[in-house]
Amino acid sequence: MVEKIHWDAIPTEKVTPQMERKLVYGEKVMVAKMKFKDGFRVPLHYHENEQITSVLSGTIRFWFGADKEQTFDLNAGEVVVIPANVPHEALMIGDVEEIDTWAPIRKDWLDGTDTYLRE
């Protein structure tokens, strides 16, 4: 059965005082609509999931690679594709609203083992 969902109907999870998210997922893909406060940092990490990040408002500064050898700012209206297992770190510049998509789904986000975000 196909179901239509409005973002407003999805519960908001407050991950930290500076980060909140809404999750929609199927068997093979997950989408998260997230809001971050200025200065929130996602520590260097990697995962098996391919990730697509689309910024709706604000700016995200990304670093890529184990030694953070590549960096750029992703602004509103821009999208980046992050291949599986690529180390990445992010800093929110201004308040940020963005949408991330992953395949396969982020099981660590569902079972609460995404501790790197909660520190």
Rounded to an integer, the average pLDDT of 68-72 is 97
> What local confidence, expressed as pLDDT, does residue 118 receive?
85
pTM for the predicted model, two decimal places: 0.94
> Which domains are assigned to the chain?
7-117 (2.60.120.10)
> What local confidence, expressed as pLDDT, does residue 53 receive?
98
| Preceding amide of 104 cis, omega within 30 | yes
9: DSSP letter:
G
Yes or no: say if 45 and 87 are a contact pair by the CB < 8 Å rule.
yes
Whether the per-residue pLDDT at 73 is higher than 90: the answer is yes
CA-to-CA separations, 105 to 13, 34, 69, in angstroms, rounded: 17, 16, 27
